[in-house]
């Protein structure tokens, strides 16, 4: 007794193809917790990248050189003194 299994196999393949196409057509919706988790991860990555950028700017050695150059002490002119060590008197005579 020989049975032909070709129609059964074709029927299974047709059902599998129909099932796969139905899966592609139905969009899978994510749960609220999954969407919240993804949004939290995106916000965290944005915040961390901005903090890293701020730290990189503040730790840049070229920036330190600029701030050191601008904060160099300026020479202060000394008041002129006379021979006896007192500050020079103005041209006005004291009576």
With respect to residue 39, please indicate whether it lies within any of the assigned structural domains.
yes
Average pLDDT, integer, range 4-19: 82
Q: Into how many domains does the chain fold?
A: 1
With respect to residue 60, please indicate whether it lies within any of the assigned structural domains.
yes
pLDDT for 39 beyond 90: yes
With respect to residue 9, please indicate whether it lies within any of the assigned structural domains.
no
Average pLDDT in the chain: 77
Sign of CA dihedral 34, 37, 43, 46: negative
Q: What is the pLDDT of residues 16-35, one digit of tens each?
A: 999 888 887 777 788 999 99
pTM above 0.85, yes or no: no
With respect to residue 90, please indicate whether it lies within any of the assigned structural domains.
no
Domain that holds residue 44: 31-66
């Amino acid at each position: 007794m020989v049975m032909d299994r070709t129609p059964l196999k074709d029927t299974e393949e047709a059902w599998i193809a129909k099932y796969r196409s139905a899966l592609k057509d139905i969009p899978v919706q994510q749960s609220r917790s999954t969407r919240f988790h993804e949004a939290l991860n995106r916000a965290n990555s944005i915040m961390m990248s901005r903090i890293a950028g701020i730290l990189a700017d503040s730790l840049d050695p070229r920036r330190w050189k600029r701030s050191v150059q601008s904060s160099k002490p300026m020479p202060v002119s000394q008041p002129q003194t006379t021979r006896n060590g007192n500050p020079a008197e103005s041209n006005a005579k004291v009576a």
